[in-house]
Every structure is written in C-alpha cells, then in structure tokens.
Amino acid sequence: MNDPSTSAHRDFVRQIVEDDLTSGKWGGRVHTRFPPEPNGYLHIGHAKSICLNFGIAKEYGGKCNLRFDDTNPEKEDTEYVDSIMEDVRWLGFDWEDRLFYASDYFEQIYQWAEQLIRDNKAYVCSLPLEEIRAGRGSASEPGTDSPYRSRSVDENLDLFRRMRAGEFPEGAHVLRAKIGMAEKHMLMRDPIMYRIRHAEHHRTGTQWCIYPTYDYTHGQSDSIEAITHSICTLEFENHRPLYDWYCTALGIHHPQQIEFNRLNLTYTMMSKRRLLELVQGKFVSGWDDPRMPTLCGLRRRGYTPEAIRAFCAYVGVTKNNAVTDMVVLENHIREDLNKRAERRMAVLNPIKVVITNYPEDQTEALDAINNPEDAAAGSRKVPFSRELYLEREDFMEEPPKKFFRLSPGKEVRLRWAYFVTCTDVVKDASGNITEIRCTYDPATKGGDAPDGRKVKATLHWVSAKHAVKADVRMYDHMFVKEDPDDVADPALDWKSNFNPNSLHVQQNAMLEPSLAKGKPGDRFQFERMGYFCVDADTTPDRLVFNRTVTLKDQWTKEQMHSFDKRMMDKRIKTEDEG
Ligand code: ATP
Ligand code: MG
C-alpha cells in the first residue's frame, strides 16, 4: 500500500524524504525516531507513528531510534518503558542498538542552557507561574516583559546554577528563553526552558531538581542523535518556530520537523491521560483490557501486528485531522484472520438436540476442513453423536417467512455432517424449549444429498458428550457515542459515555473438543460467529475466549437495512446457506 516505488501512494512525508535524498540535503542519510513519553501504554495512534518512522527508515535504507521522551518525572514509570519496548517489537520493528532516553542528555541540555544564558538568549524569571501566563498576552495583544528580563548574564548564571543545586523551592524561578514578548506565535513569547521539580525521576533518581520542558528538550535530543526528519503530529506545527529557534540559537545540527495528522477512531479515544483514567477508575480491567485501543489491549483482543500495520498503511498520512471509522480497523483484522485463522465449531448459546434415529452408543469422527482459504491448513476430525448442541437462535418454533434455519418439519444441513429434520420440541413446565428432536438422513454423510435435494441453511453444532466448556467474552464499543466528548449535560464528562454493555460474558459456551488444547493467543474463526482468541485468563480447568471481531460488520448491515431491505433479505439468505 505505502510502497515507495509506486508514486500514486507516496505520501507527503515520503515525498520530502525522497526530495532530500535527490538533493543530497542530508548527505544521503535518513534517520528518524519514535519518541514516546513513558507515561502510559501505547495505543493504535502510536502505531501509526511507529509504522511511519520505522517504515520510512526501512524503505529508504535509513535508521530509526527509539527514544523515551522522559522529561516529566512525576508521570513517568519504568512499567511504561518496558511495555512500550514490548509493543514496538510486537508490531515488528527493531531499534537495534539505538535505544535512547532524553534523560541521558540532561547534562548536555543543561550546558546548552548555560550557553544561551551567556549569549544573553535566556534568563531566570522569578515571577509566579500565573503571572508568567498572564504576561503572555493573547493572540491579538502582545505580551509584557517580565521585570526580570534584564537580569545580567552573571546574575542569571548564578541563579540558574543555584536552581540546579537545589537552593530554591518549586515555583521560585524558571529559566526562560529571551525571544520577545511581541512575537506573533504565543509559544515564542519567552517560553519556559526549565522548571524546579523536587521529584524523583525513574532513571536519574534525585540527581536533578530542575527539569527541561518538552520544547527545550525535543529538538536538542533530535540534534544529538543526528536525526534528519523529525516527524511528529500536527499539534506541534505551532511549536516548529521554537524547535527551529533553539537549534539556530545553539548553532547545532538542525533536523527538519514535519507534522502529520493524528489517528482518531470512532467510539474510542487516543489520549494516554484519559486511558489511564479508565484504568484507575476501574471502567476496564487494565491497560490490556480487550476493549482498550492500546496495543496490548488489541493484542489480547486477538489483533495481529500484520493487520495493524496494514491498517496504518491504509489510513496513510496527510495534513488534515479526521476521524476514521472503527469499521476500517475491524475490516483489516477480518481480512487478515480470514486468511489465517483455522475454522472451528463453537456453540455460544447452546440448546440440546437429540437425533432420535442415530444409534445411542455410536460416535463418528467426521472430516472438517480447517481453512477453505488455506489448503495447507489441512483438515481435522470432529466427533458426531446422538446428542448435539445447536445455537439457540438457529431454532424457531414458529418461524417468520424468511427464517430458513431450523424449525419443526424443516430440513437443514449440519456442517460437515448430515441433513437433519426437526420432528419435535420438548418443553419444561413453564413452556421453555429444553430439547429439540430431529432425525438424520444417513445417506447425506459429509453434508451432501445423493438425490440432489437442497437445504437453505447450514448450521454449526457440537457433540454434547465431547464438548468442552468455555467462557466467551463478547465486546462492544467502549463508548456509546462515536465521539465520546459528545455530552449534552454540562454536569457530565466523557466518562458518562462509557458503554456499560461493552462486555458480555457468555458462560458455558460449548466448543468442539479440538479447542481444549487452545493456548493464550491462539486465534480461530468460530464458524458463523466471528473471530475469537484464547485469553490469558485461561486456566487448566477453564477456557476463556475473547471475541476479536464479528464475521461481518454490523454497521454495514444496519446501513443496508435502512437503504435496501431486499438486499438485506438476500444477505440473510446467503448467510443461512453458509
Ligand atoms: P497522548 O495524547 O495519547 O498521550 P502523546 O502525543 O502525548 O499522546 P507521546 O508519547 O508524546 O504521546 O507520542 C509519541 C509519538 O506518537 C509522538 O510523535 C506523537 O506525535 C505520536 N502520536 C501520539 N498519538 C498519536 C496519534 N493519535 N496518531 C498518530 N501519532 C500519534
Ligand atoms: Mg505527550
């Protein structure tokens, strides 16, 4: 899709890289980086950035670094560092020996700050934060100079060194760049470079009590690593003048910052801060809850790295922020799993069926094809016996006209097995159906009638005495609204849109026995029911599955329903025909 050799799919970032290679701007080098802040787990939005940065390096014979942007001691943690490395590797990328931390550059970055002070391009400001903020002015009005702006170089150096030495409480002073309070860009109006934080850092411990801001760290870290193309998201576009100013003022290697559009998806959200709120508020079971848009959540849900990479290539990069429909992501995992997930039979909501003319003590091992899309996947044996489970919703005692599945007097095919005809239903005292009775036609073994007669539905089934039980977790969107921020009541926030029905556990689903050996992470298509994977909560006495995605997309069905009822009917019919 993003094959750089086909110009039709060459995005504007790759175009810049290619132009630079042609002009020799960086001496033929391509060097990118992926710079996460270790303050949460990576989400699918980060995957887009990873695929872009590592992808470009790979395609153009360059390099891509993994760099932790760890300048914020309070929010960062080694738990996040570890998870980020695991997720980048899982996605299929390799930073080789280029694992870096912005905190490793703290000394160099500090020395550069002293250089700016000596060049009269930075000063220590002792205004309280609120006054600094108020003094910034507005988009239409210039800011006002801080009374500390004219401090001498010597006084600034002395104060800055004492800030580093820990002589002052938090908030007493900051270091600011001396750019100009009348600058058009608000971010350029003497921005803060350093603040005092008496906080322990997950890597540097208590070595520092002053920490550089993101803006004063990022470009310098890129510079130290000799990055050529510093690719970031659009919200940093108005930080670019500052990125450029620091590199120019310091006279250091000056990478080119290029901004692209963030990934946004419907019915979920991409902010680590908010995802942390969902974890801490116990809305979800953790960062890897399969409803989360995190890479560990998607992995647990059954997503493959291939599907995520294909999705990222498909959405591409542009200069326009937009929201991508969740269906687009789901279609990529469907497409991938359709090719590689073996088919199995699993009855999620079982009802017992007795084949009255089938011998009581007989069991047959029937041949079932593992994956019609992949001949190499071979076949397996599935046991058939007198008592089976069928999906409760595949039976209706009084069916409407278009219902082609099982009902009294109707004949259907049991997948890989026989034609059966419903003869009777058994009910309990309150009228609930407890058992369906059928007869089978021994001449239809394998699922074909030698006399050529047709049936309109093929149903999946599981032999009752061979079935293995499982809990199957079915997921729906994490939020009830496409845009979780869409809240009418001002007293409520986005969390009020959390979908209380986003998890439904189907207990005592009945699976064909070959699934008993499933190991966490194994993926299957349950025929007619969707794609499922074995969950990590599986124990020797309890199988737990997650539904990764339904077979067909509900949204499309609903749209079709409202647009064209006849199409819909045709579709149900083809589904029934299996
Ligand atoms: P969040 O708001 O989720 O915390 P962030 O931008 O603060 O995201 P970082 O750890 O700073 O997270 O991001 C690392 C890299 O991933 C950055 O280059 C950032 O631009 C990119 N990135 C983050 N979110 C997205 C997204 N939704 N789409 C594309 N790239 C993203
Ligand atoms: Mg951030």
316 CA distance to ligand 2 middle (Å): 21
Q: How many whole angstroms separate alpha carbon 317 and alpha carbon 258?
A: 11
The pairing of strands 364-369 and 210-212 is unpaired
d(CA 234, ligand 2 centre) in Å = 13
* Pocket mutation for ligand 1, best pick of 49, 258, 485 (most atoms within 8 Å of C-beta): 49
Pick the residue with more confidence: 7 or 244? 244
Task: Give the atom of ligand 1 at the shortest distance from the alpha carbon of 40.
Answer: 4
Confidence of residue 566 (pLDDT cuts 50, 70, 90): very low
Please give the backbone phi and psi of residue 461, each rounded to the nearest 5 degrees, phi first.
-155, 165
Cα–Cα distance measured from residue 63 to residue 53, given in angstroms and rounded to the nearest whole number:
9
Element (H, E) at 380: strand 379-384
Cβ(270) to ligand 1 under 6 A?
yes
- Letter for the amino acid at 12? F
Q: Which atom of ligand 1 is nearest to the CA of 262?
A: 28
DSSP characters for 323-335?
-B-HHHHHHHHHH
> For residue 249, how far is its CA from the centre of ligand 2 (angstroms)?
25
Determine the Cα angle at 263 with ends 306 and 561, to 5°. 80
Please check whether residue 549 is in contact with residue 536, taking contact to mean a CB–CB distance below 8 angstroms: no
Q: How far is the CA of 3 from the centre of ligand 1 (A)?
A: 24
The whole-chain average pLDDT of the chain stands at 94
Helix (H) or strand (E) holding 521: none
Which residues, in sequence order, are CB contacts of 21 under 8 Å at separation 6+?
28, 30, 60
* Torsion sign across C-alpha atoms 405, 410, 416, 417: positive
- In CATH, the number for domain 104-212 is 3.90.800.10
Contacts of 278 (CB under 8 A, 6+ apart): 284, 292, 478, 495, 498
**Domain ranges for the chain:** 104-212, 346-467
Counting atoms of ligand 1 from 1, which one is nearest the CA of 53? 18
Q: pLDDT at residue 483 above 70? A: yes
Give the torsion through C-alpha atoms of 442, 444, 449, 454, to 10 deg.
100
Q: Could you say which ligand is closest to the alpha carbon of residue 45?
A: 1
Residue numbers annotated as active site: 37, 262, 272
pLDDT at residue 360, as a whole number: 95
Residue pair 515/541 in contact (Cβ under 8 Å)? The answer is no
What is the pLDDT averaged over residues 76-82?
92
CATH number of 346-467: 2.40.240.10
145 lines ligand 1 (CB under 6 A): no
**Percent of the chain whose predicted confidence (pLDDT) is above 70:** 94
Q: Residue 201: pLDDT above 60?
A: yes
CB-ligand 1 contact for 261 (6 Å cutoff):
no
| pLDDT, tens digit (0-9, with 9 covering 90-100), for 5-64 | 444 468 999 999 999 999 999 999 999 999 999 999 999 999 999 999 999 999 999 999
- Indicate the SS3 state at residue 397: coil
Q: What separation in Å is there between the alpha carbon of 29 and the centre of ligand 2? A: 27
Q: Ligand 1 in contact with 318 (CB < 6 A)?
A: no
pLDDT (mean) for 130-146: 96
Residue with the smallest CA separation from ligand 1 atom 18 is 232
Beta strands in 145-253 (DSSP E): 174-177, 192-196, 210-212, 229-233
Q: Which of 46, 52, 269, 326 to mutate to test the pocket of ligand 1 (most atoms within 8 A of CB)?
A: 46
CA of 532 to the centre of ligand 1 (A): 29
With a 6 Å cutoff on the Cβ, whether 237 touches ligand 1 is: no
Ligand nearest to the CA of 102: 1
Q: Please state the three-class secondary structure of 44-105 as a single string.
A: HHHHHHHHHHHHHHHHCCCEEEEEECCCCCCCCCHHHHHHHHHHHHHHCCCCCCCEEEHHHH
Q: Could you tell me the strand order of the sheet in which 458-459 lies? A: 458-459, 411-414, 419-427, 433-440, 350-355, 387-391, 461-463
Give the pLDDT band of residue 554 (cuts 50, 70, 90).
low
pTM for the predicted model, two decimal places: 0.92
Ligand closest to 315 (CA) is: 1
Q: Is the CB of 233 under 6 A from ligand 1?
A: yes
Task: Write down the pLDDT at residue 9.
Answer: 63
Q: Is 271 in the pocket of ligand 1 (CB under 6 A)?
A: yes
